[in-house]
Every structure is written in structure tokens, then in C-alpha cells.
């Protein structure tokens, strides 16, 4: 039986890390992710974990320490937000390029300027092309579950990639909600033991890691990294299935909410998906054919699956809690629109809303407005493709 | 109770409004409810106005926005009445609970025509007498449970005692003081 508890999103992640008892946790605190290393350090002080806890002097150093530890075959993590993630940038590519399955809870927060500590997805969306697996969570439960699922994906021998496990800063990270925890023995069984055959401290198989790569080889090594991402695409469904058998919580690339006969749909990530579900319920009660897709795995991007799910829909609004300043829509929008290109006659009309930047509260009325706008889109009198939601004039 | 109860807290940074909202969520969880307790963060400064929120229900609530039409509003600092529209969106079927030594009738004028229930509790006094310091959040918690009926009283008292015993295992006087403050506020709240 699951253990019923109530935890904030950060507490849930810290508890997951305690259950894993990793070899190394290197961190530098930054709002709103600070709770994760802070709570973990109390587990450490109480003797509940045996990890090596490295208090680094910056996020650049924290990620460097993680890379060093992971090269020796250690189960390793750090946690961060916003500018902390930005300071790691150089090392994000090193971690993925060296194929090191480091875990990193990212507690999503806006970038400066203007200075802001609240939630949006600019940080992890900016890092979507760094070669990390990215998982997104609607609530504390999913943030907790994604930690274990993320480890299994990253540590899979055919994958060996680092994983960002994202949730919304403050909204879920500091919000207390009910949660079902998994018993310690079941966690241990699910995550198993990790041993990487390639390790700097294995004297039987001496290796060099991270040396200079000449142009004659570099592309082939990069292609191996691409292969690892393709392999992730293959192994993820099996990991979800196994997790479902363990907990009863059935996850997939994305959650389809009332999509069966939906004509209008929105695509959304993280906490606002929950708010949007309540709007779908209200509109369904009035007989409106609306649905929602909540993306859980953003990297690798489930391109074919998204296209199939949208092939029956007439109009779609993709919600981005980050802009990419490309003048052609936010990051999720461009991916989704690209995924639908080959649908031909079944291709829905697809518009984009940038929303919830810098912690702007996303209310049910805002989401209801999106579904209302989709009526116009469906009728072919849609307006701009790329818009801002709830912008004050 | 199948209906969801939504509560909005107004306080100043450092007064414990956020902690009180988390304690209320905790107490409601312990009586078998689905809960949400969350703060709204602005610039993090001592003394600046802050808000915190609770949703308490028999079913899981997936909504992750702030609360604009609360059933109850709790004001931990009376001085906020002149600077904030604390009854904004407050349902008239619900009520407002203010930390004050005044009678409810004396404060109604400041509430912009709000017609619902107005309650006051002298949380500062109770706290100073029972805990020796001005920690208004525990008395406010008792008052909000009394006024809203969101948790059965007897159940609330026994669950809070258990929770204080775990939290302050080595400080018996703190447990006693908090329990007295809680029970007194439930008796002394005016206007309910």
C-alpha cells in the first residue's frame, strides 16, 4: 500500500532523493529550488542517507562536481533553477556529450531581466537543446514519480544521458498537497543498482574521458549521442509500463484528457495543466467538445505520437510558458507545429499562446478564453498565430 | 462536506501567515481531506504584505491558480485593512476573520460594504499570554477552524495536539501553550 502523505513539490523531490540514497549530491542553492538540497542536508545530518554532499561555490562548480562524480560511476544529482541553470550551461553539454546519467530537478523560474524569482519555463526551455532528457510534472506527485522514472531512463545502458526533471517554481515547489509515496523497498527494486562499465576508477578497464576529439571523429561521436536519444524513445514506454505496474499510476509521453471526440484542444505543460483540466470539465458539462494534452516527456520529443493525437482535432492552441523571441512562436509551439506538418488533410489549425511569464497567475478564465478563441480559429477567422495571453494593456 | 472550501490569508512577511496556511492544510489532511496550502511570493521582505491560500475538499483539486473568490478571508494584521481590499471577491455566504482587539461592528466600516460574517479574535493577546510572544498564527488557525467549520472541532484539536507533540517533542511547555492558545481562540472569537 502506498504511504499517504502531504508534501510540497520540493519536499517530494527531496524525499525521492532520500529514498534513492545517491552516491553524490553537489549543489549550490538558488530560489526556488533551495529546499531540495536544504531538506536533503537534514536527512544527511540525521544519518538517513549515506551520500557524499558537496556544497559547491557556484552552479558551474556544482555541475562540474557532478560530472566528475558521474565519471567515476557514481549515482549523482544536483538541483537548480533559472540563473543557476544558466551558469551551468557549458557543463550541460559536457554532461550529455560524455553520456553521464546525472539527475537534475529543475524548479522552473523566470530569467532576468527584469529580475523575477517566480515561475516560467524560460530556464529549462532554453536548455531543451543541450542533449538532456526532459520530463515535466503537473504536481508534487508527478515531480516525485518523474524522479525515479528519470533515473531509469538516464541510467538505461542504451541511453546513458542526463535528465532534467522539471516542476513549476513556487506553484508546485512550495505548494502543499496530498501525495502517495512509494515504499522504500519498492523504490529500491524499481531503480535497481547502477553500475556503469565505463568508469574512471575501474583499474581493470582504464579509460580516458573527455579528451580532445578531432574533426575526423567528432561527428561520429555526436551521432552516437543522437542514437542514445533515439534509444531513449524506444525504452521509455517500457519504463512507464513497469512504473504503472508498481504504483497503479499509468504514464505516457503525454496525458490525453478528454481527447476522445475533442474538436478543440490545448497542449500544455506543468502546473497550469491542472487548472486547464478544470476548465475542460466545465466546458464539457456544457456539451463543448474540448480536450487537453499535457506533455510529460519533452526531450526526446514524441513527434509521431503528438501528430497522431492531433490528427482528429480541428483546432489546437499550444501554450508556452516561455518565449523564444524568434518571432515565430514559443518552443513547444514550433515543435508541435512541425510534428503536424505531414498530417496533410488531417492537419489541425495550430495557434500559440505565450502565458504565465514571471509568475503571472494563470486562472481558469484565462484558459476558458483560449478555448473561446479556438472556436474562431476553427471557423477560419482566427487572427494572429502567435499571441500573448492575459496581457494587460 | 462535498463542497470545496477556499481560504485566503493576508499577513505581513514574518508573521507566519504562510506557516498558518500550511498548518491548516496539515490539520485538514490529518482528518482525511484533500488539501492545498500555498503562499504567493512577491519581494521577500519582513513586513511586506503577503498572501497565502488553502483549498480543502473531499476530492483532489487540480487547479493551481491563486484564489479570487474565497469562502473565507483571514487577516493576520489589522493594519492591512486600510491598505488592501481584503474582502475583494469574498463570498457573502462565508466570512472574514480579523486579528484585532476590537468588536466586529467596529471594523465593518472598513470592509467596503461587505455583508457576510465579520469575526474578530485578539490573537496577539492570546499568544502573548499563552506563549509569551506575539505569534498570532496559532490563535488565527483556531479561529478560522471555528468560524469556517472546515474541520470538525474535536477532530481538529486532537490532530493538532498530536502534530505539536511530534513537532516539539522536547518542549512540553510549547505544546501546552500552543494547545491553550488554540482552544482559547476557538472560544473567544467574536461574531461567529
Give me the domains of chain B, ranges plus CATH numbers.
Answer: 5-188 (3.40.920.10)
d(CA A370, CA A323): 17
Residue-range definition of the domain harbouring residue A341: 254-388
Is A221 in the same domain as A311? no
Is A348 in the same domain as A314? yes
Is A272 in the same domain as A169? no
Q: Does B48 touch chain A (CB under 8 A)?
A: no
List pLDDT tens digits, range A72-88. 999 999 999 999 999 99
Query: Given A247, A274, A296, which residue is the final one in a domain?
Result: A247
A201 found inside a domain: no
CB contact under 8 A, A364 and B63: yes
Cell reading at A236: 521509455
Is A233 in the same domain as A259? no
A198 found inside a domain: no
List pLDDT tens digits, range B76-97. 999 999 999 999 999 999 999 9
Average pLDDT, whole number, for chain A? 97
Full strand arrangement of the beta sheet holding B117-121: A3-8, A176-181, B34-40, B49-57, B5-12, B72-75, B95-99, B117-121
A204 found inside a domain: no
Cell reading at B98: 480579523
Is A239 in the same domain as A327? no
- The three-state secondary structure class of A314 is coil
CATH number at residue A357: 3.40.50.920
CA angle B56, B62, B65 (to 5 degrees): 85
Is A178 in the same domain as A291? no
Is A231 in the same domain as A143? yes
**Confidence (pLDDT) at B42:** 73
List pLDDT tens digits, range B152-178. 999 999 999 988 888 788 888 889 999
Query: Given A247, A262, A295, which residue is the final one in a domain?
Result: A247
Q: How far A368 CA lies from chain B's nearest CA (Å)?
A: 13
A313 found inside a domain: yes
pLDDT > 90? residue B15 = no
CB contact under 8 A, B60 and A178: yes
Closest chain B residue to A275, measured at CA: B63
Q: Compute CA distances B90 → B22, B39, B65, B113, B114, whole Å.
A: 21, 18, 16, 11, 8
**Confidence (pLDDT) at A342:** 96
Number of structural domains, chain A?
Answer: 2
**Confidence (pLDDT) at A353:** 98
- The three-state secondary structure class of B157 is helix
A270 found inside a domain: yes
Q: Does A172 touch chain B (CB under 8 A)?
A: yes
Is A231 in the same domain as A154? yes
Q: Considering the entire predicted model, what is its pTM?
A: 0.96
pLDDT > 60? residue A36 = yes
pLDDT > 50? residue B1 = no
**Confidence (pLDDT) at B2:** 55
pLDDT > 50? residue A37 = yes
End-to-end CA distance of chain B: 19
**Confidence (pLDDT) at B109:** 93
Query: Given A247, A264, A292, which residue is the final one in a domain?
Result: A247
Is A223 in the same domain as A338? no
CATH number at residue A153: 3.40.50.970
Q: Cis before residue A32, ω within 30 degrees of 0?
A: yes
d(CA B65, CA A9): 15
List pLDDT tens digits, range A327-358. 999 999 999 999 999 999 999 999 999 999 99
- The stretch A115-142 carries a mean pLDDT of 98
Q: Which chain B residues are Cβ-neighbours of A32 within 8 angstroms?
A: 41
**Confidence (pLDDT) at B169:** 80
A59 found inside a domain: yes
> Which of B115, B70, B112, B107 minimizes the C-alpha distance to B89?
B70
Is A348 in the same domain as A222? no
**Confidence (pLDDT) at A242:** 98
- The stretch B20-32 carries a mean pLDDT of 93
pLDDT > 90? residue B187 = yes
Q: How many helices (H) and strands (E) does chain B have?
A: 6, 6
* CB environment A197-229: b (16+ within 10 A), e (fewer): eebeeeeeeeeeeeeeeeeeeeeeeeeebeebb
- Tell me how crowded residue B133 is: count the other CB atoms within 10 A of its CB: 10
A203 found inside a domain: no
Is A323 in the same domain as A226? no
A54 found inside a domain: yes
| Predicted complex ipTM | 0.94
List pLDDT tens digits, range A283-334. 999 999 999 999 999 999 999 999 999 999 999 999 999 999 999 999 999 9
Is A113 in the same domain as A60? yes
List pLDDT tens digits, range A194-239. 988 789 988 889 999 999 999 999 999 999 999 999 999 999 999 9
**Confidence (pLDDT) at B88:** 97
d(CA A254, CA B67): 28
Amino acid at each position: 500500500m502506498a504511504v499517504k502523505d502531504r508534501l510540497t513539490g520540493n519536499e517530494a523531490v527531496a524525499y525521492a532523493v532520500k529514498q534513492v540514497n545517491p552516491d553524490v549530491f553537489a549543489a549550490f542553492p538558488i530560489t526556488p529550488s533551495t529546499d531540495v538540497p536544504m531538506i536533503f542536508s537534514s536527512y544527511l545530518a540525521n544519518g538517513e542517507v549515506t551520500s557524499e554532499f558537496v556544497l559547491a561555490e557556484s552552479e558551474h562548480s556544482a555541475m562540474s562536481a557532478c560530472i566528475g562524480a558521474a565519471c567515476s560511476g557514481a549515482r549523482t544529482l544536483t538541483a537548480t533553477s533559472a540563473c543557476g541553470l544558466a551558469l551551468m550551461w557549458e557543463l550541460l553539454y559536457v554532461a550529455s556529450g560524455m553520456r553521464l546519467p546525472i539527475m537534475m530537478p529543475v524548479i522552473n523560474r523566470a530569467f532576468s531581466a527584469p529580475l523575477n524569482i517566480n515561475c516560467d519555463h524560460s530556464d529549462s526551455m532554453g536548455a531543451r537543446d543541450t542533449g538532456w532528457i526532459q520530463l515535466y510534472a503537473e504536481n508534487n506527485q508527478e515531480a516525485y514519480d518523474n524522479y525515479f522514472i528519470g533515473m531509469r531512463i538516464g541510467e538505461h545502458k542504451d541511453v546513458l544521458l542526463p535528465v532534467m526533471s522539471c516542476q513549476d517554481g513556487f506553484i508546485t515547489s512550495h505548494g502543499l498537497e496530498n501525495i502517495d509515496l512509494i515504499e522504500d523497498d519498492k523504490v529500491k527494486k524499481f531503480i535497481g543498482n547502477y553500475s556503469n562499465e565505463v568508469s574512471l576508477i575501474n583499474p581493470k578497464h582504464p579509460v580516458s574521458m573527455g579528451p580532445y576529439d578531432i574533426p575526423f571523429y567528432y561527428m561520429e561521436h555526436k551521432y552516437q549521442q543522437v542514437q542514445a536519444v533515439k534509444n531513449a524513445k524506444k525504452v521509455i514506454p517500457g519504463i512507464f509500463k513497469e512504473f504503472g505496474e508498481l504504483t497503479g499510476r499509468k504514464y505516457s509521453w503525454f496525458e490525453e484528457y478528454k481527447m476522445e471526440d475533442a474538436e478543440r484542444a490545448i497542449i500544455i505543460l506543468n502546473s497550469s495543466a491542472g487548472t486547464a483540466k478544470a476548465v475542460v470539465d466545465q466546458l464539457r458539462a456544457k456539451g463543448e467538445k474540448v480536450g487537453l494534452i499535457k506533455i510529460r516527456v519533452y526531450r526526446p520529443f514524441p513527434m509521431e505520437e503528438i501528430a497522431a493525437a492531433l490528427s482528429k482535432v480541428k483546432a489546437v492552441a499550444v501554450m508556452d510558458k516561455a518565449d523564444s523571441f524568434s518571432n515565430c512562436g514559443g518552443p513547444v509551439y514550433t515543435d508541435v507545429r512541425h510534428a503536424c506538418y505531414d498530417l496533410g488533410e488531417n492537419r489541425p489549425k495550430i495557434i500559440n499562446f505565450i502565458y504565465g511569464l514571471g509568475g503571472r497567475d494563470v486562472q481558469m478564465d484565462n484558459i476558458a478564453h483560449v478555448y473561446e478563441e479556438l472556436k474562431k480559429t476553427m471557423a477560419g477567422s482566427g487572427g494572429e498565430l502567435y499571441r500573448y495571453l492575459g496581457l494587460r494593456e | 462536506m462535498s463542497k470545496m472550501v477556499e481560504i485566503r490569508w493576508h499577513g505581513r512577511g514574518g508573521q507566519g501567515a504562510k506557516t498558518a496556511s500550511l498548518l491548516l492544510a496539515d490539520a485538514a489532511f490529518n482528518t482525511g481531506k484533500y488539501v492545498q496550502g500555498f503562499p504567493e511570493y512577491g519581494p521577500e521582505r519582513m513586513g511586506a504584505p503577503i498572501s497565502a491560500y488553502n483549498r480543502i475538499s473531499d476530492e483532489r483539486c487540480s487547479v493551481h491558480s491563486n484564489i479570487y473568490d474565497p469562502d473565507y478571508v483571514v487577516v493576520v494584521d489589522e493594519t492591512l485593512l486600510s491598505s488592501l481590499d481584503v474582502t475583494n471577491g469574498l463570498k457573502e455566504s462565508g466570512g472574514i476573520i480579523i486579528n484585532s482587539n476590537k468588536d466586529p461592528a467596529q471594523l465593518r466600516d472598513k470592509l467596503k460594504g461587505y455583508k457576510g460574517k465579520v469575526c474578530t479574535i485578539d490573537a496577539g493577546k492570546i499568544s502573548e499570554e499563552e506563549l509569551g510572544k506575539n505569534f498570532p498564527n496559532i490563535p488565527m488557525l483556531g479561529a478560522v477552524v471555528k468560524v469556517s467549520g472546515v474541520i470538525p472541532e474535536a477532530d481538529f484539536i486532537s490532530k493538532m495536539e498530536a502534530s505539536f507533540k511530534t513537532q516539539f517533542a522536547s518542549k512540553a511547555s510549547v505544546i501546552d501553550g500552543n494547545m491553550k492558545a488554540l482552544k482559547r481562540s476557538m472560544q473567544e472569537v467574536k461574531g461567529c
